[in-house]
Chain A
Amino acid sequence: MEGSLNVIGYGISVIGAGIGVGIVFGMGMQAIARQPEARGPLQTNIYIGFALIEALALLGFVLAFAI
């Protein structure tokens, strides 16, 4: 078999980002369910949190190709 160990490393590292994104959206949904009138600001903050966590996974993705 041929391939790069980077890919396996990336697969392992992205578990963390996956858990993080799951927590962000899960907690966000919970917050919206508890207080539906606060939907607007909550949604914006969910996407900011999602973007910041996703950056970790994407850095790994780029480095897996670059190194």
Chain B
Amino acid sequence: MSADTLNLAAEGGGGLFTPGGPGFEAPSVGIFFPSPWVDYDIPMTSGITKYAVLLAVASGLALLFLWWTSRKQSLVPNRSQSIGEIFFLFIREQISRPMMGVKGDKYLPLLISLFIFVFAMNIMGIIPFLQLPVTSNLSYPVGIALVVYVTFIVVGIRSQGGVGKYLKGAVVPSGAPGWILPLLVPIEIISNFLIRPATHAIRVFATMFAGHLLLATFAAAGWYMFNPAAGPLFGTISVLFSGASLLAFVVFTAFELVIMFLQAFVFTLLAALYIGQAQEAH
């Protein structure tokens, strides 16, 4: 759409085609900074915002799922327990075993918690009336990524037997000739201990951020263009436009669900990969 058409639409706005109405304002980054409901004026905190409430809802959902699938355990699983077992086997066969082998099975509780917690926080973005993925605020993924960061460093130090051995194994590539080490070691340090946790957190954050912005734009545009009072011709056109936007909103919501699952999967997969790499001797 060219600038002229945009201006025309803006001049006709109010809904679309209303003379002298307000123009279309696309949702901005501001929707990710909701104003706090309870503000207790401590520096570097944001008070209790929608994010904090949704975080509690997401944790509650995750706990509820785990409680529902693990109560009344028996050898012959009942309906809820089989769902839990399918989920458990999915994490073990798709994530844990390929990355860490059998000796990684003791990290399964961590991986399962990570997956279900990240997925519950993501899914807040498409639950009606909540509709804000908790992970679209950088602080939450950073918190979880820090847990993984500390875990794989501690696991590395323990399984390699000492800080020095672990650091040597992690930053000095085996088999590299000595003269290239001054070049390689800084790159390995940056990529293993700085870029790795940063991208681990940013990956899920940025995907949720972009996806939510996309959905918000379609919702706002659909509402803006809905103007059946603009006369028979323009009213029909505006309702058609609005319907197209609604359709796109629904389609992209389904698409977002897939993305949310994929991001939780990738987050857990990378956590398993990092722990597995720290575990085995280089």
Given A44-B269, A47-B265, A47-B266: A58 and B98 within 8 A (CB)?
no
Query: Does any Cβ of B come within 8 Å of A25's Cβ?
Result: no
Q: Which of B120-128, B170-178, B198-206, B241-249 contacts A (4 or more CB under 8 A)?
A: B198-206
Find the A residue at minimum CB distance from B272.
A44
A44 touching B99 by the CB < 8 A rule?
Answer: yes
Bound Cα distance A11, B199 (Å): 19
Bound Cα distance A61, B99 (Å): 29
Interface size class on chain A is 10 to 19
Query: Does any Cβ of A come within 8 Å of B214's Cβ?
Result: no
Query: Does any Cβ of A come within 8 Å of B237's Cβ?
Result: no
Would you give the shortest CB distance from B272 to chain A, in whole angstroms?
9
Query: Does any Cβ of B come within 8 Å of A67's Cβ?
Result: no
Query: Does any Cβ of B come within 8 Å of A1's Cβ?
Result: yes
Query: Does any Cβ of A come within 8 Å of B113's Cβ?
Result: no
Bound Cα distance A18, B95 (Å): 25
Would you give the shortest CB distance from B141 to chain A, in whole angstroms?
11
A61 touching B210 by the CB < 8 A rule?
Answer: yes
Query: Does any Cβ of A come within 8 Å of B57's Cβ?
Result: no
B207 touching A48 by the CB < 8 A rule?
Answer: no
CB-contact partner of B269 in A41, A51, A54, A61, under 8 A: A51
Q: Within 8 Å CB of B210, what residues of A?
A: 61
Query: Does any Cβ of A come within 8 Å of B270's Cβ?
Result: yes
CB-contact partner of B203 in A1, A40, A55, A65, under 8 A: A55
6 contacts between A and B (CB under 8 A): A40-B98, A48-B273, A51-B266, A58-B202, A58-B206, A62-B205
- What 5 A-B pairs have minimum CB-CB distances, sorted nearest first? A55-B199, A58-B206, A44-B98, A51-B266, A61-B206
Chain A interface residues (CB < 8 Å from chain B):
1, 40-41, 43-44, 47-48, 50-51, 54-55, 58-59, 61-62, 65
